[in-house]
């Protein structure tokens, strides 16, 4: 049997998952900033973190421990689905419970392959994958354009490169970012 977790489920309970949250009526009431997590090493095949990770780990050591615990409980090749508000959108900025911007570049800091590549190139990126003994591969990123983006660039709304260029200059063009992270570890 595979164990799938919907962490920080809120009112969005998913069938086939253990729905976990600190509040409400989840399958399991648990504070996601508490360690260790109540699951065995290599026991989880899939994790959903939908509008959750930006609420966790205001202190850096807590955030890094969250990442280490995800790595510990996940099986090799497990997928972690992460959806967050874009860090330059008002949905992120105005919510008082958002404590950390989650970005594709920030998640790549936990990739040993990226860490080694950066070291060979002499880049100053922090090799968190090496420091924390974790390894994740960012396998997919999807940007969701905002209503403003669609209004201003409707005829070019599917041009991701234009969206990235313009969002480097203007806020509120990307509303949400969805990412898939794959756990890289030897099969046991």
Q: What is the pLDDT of residues 131-149, one digit of tens each?
A: 999 999 999 999 999 999 9
| Domain, as residue range, for 127 | 3-145+176-183
C-alpha–C-alpha distance, residues 96 and 98, integer Å: 6
In a domain, residue 117? The reply is yes
In a domain, residue 152? The reply is no
In a domain, residue 138? The reply is yes
Look at residue 36 and give its three-state secondary structure. Answer: coil
- The rounded percent of the chain whose pLDDT value lies above 70 is 99
C-alpha–C-alpha distance, residues 106 and 8, integer Å: 21
**Predicted confidence (pLDDT) at residue 154 exceeds the cutoff of 90:** no
pLDDT at 121: 96
Which residue carries 């992120």 as its tokens? 92
In a domain, residue 136? The reply is yes
pLDDT at 187: 76
Main-chain dihedrals φ then ψ at residue 82, nearest 5 degrees = -120, 125
CATH number of the domain encompassing residue 97: 3.40.50.150
Query: What is the number of helices (H) and of strands (E) in the chain?
Result: 7, 7
In a domain, residue 167? The reply is no
In a domain, residue 97? The reply is yes
HEC per residue, 114-125: HHHHHHHHCCCC
At 5, the pLDDT band (50, 70, 90 cuts) reads: very high
pLDDT at 186: 85
In a domain, residue 80? The reply is yes
pLDDT at 188: 67
**Predicted confidence (pLDDT) at residue 160 exceeds the cutoff of 70:** yes
In a domain, residue 160? The reply is no
> Could you tell me the CA-to-CA distances from 129 to 23, 64, 122 in Å, in that order?
31, 10, 17
Q: Integer distance in angstroms from the first to the last C-alpha of the chain? A: 16
pLDDT at 38: 95
Main-chain dihedrals φ then ψ at residue 175, nearest 5 degrees = -90, -40
> Could you give the number of structural domains in the chain?
1
pLDDT tens-digit readout, 100-134: 999 999 999 999 999 999 999 999 899 999 999 99
For residues 7 and 37, is the Cβ–Cβ distance under 8 A?
A: no
At 1, the pLDDT band (50, 70, 90 cuts) reads: low
């Amino acid at each position: 049997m595979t164990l799938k977790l919907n962490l920080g489920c809120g009112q969005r309970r998913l069938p086939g998952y253990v729905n976990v949250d600190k509040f409400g009526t989840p399958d399991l009431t648990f504070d996601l900033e508490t360690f260790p997590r109540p699951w065995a090493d290599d026991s989880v095949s899939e994790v959903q973190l939908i509008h959750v990770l930006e609420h966790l780990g205001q202190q850096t050591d807590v955030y890094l421990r969250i990442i280490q615990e995800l790595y510990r409980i996940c099986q090799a090749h497990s997928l972690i689905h992460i959806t967050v508000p874009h860090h330059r959108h008002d949905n992120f900025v105005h919510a008082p419970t958002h404590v950390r911007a989650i970005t594709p570049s920030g998640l790549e800091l936990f990739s040993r392959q990226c860490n080694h590549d950066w070291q060979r190139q002499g880049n100053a990126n922090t090799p968190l994958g090496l420091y924390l003994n974790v390894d994740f591969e960012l396998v997919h990123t999807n940007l969701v354009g905002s209503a403003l983006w669609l209004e201003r660039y409707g005829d070019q709304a599917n041009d991701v490169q234009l969206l990235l260029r313009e969002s480097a200059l203007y806020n509120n063009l990307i509303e949400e970012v969805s990412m898939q992270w794959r756990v890289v570890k030897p099969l046991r």
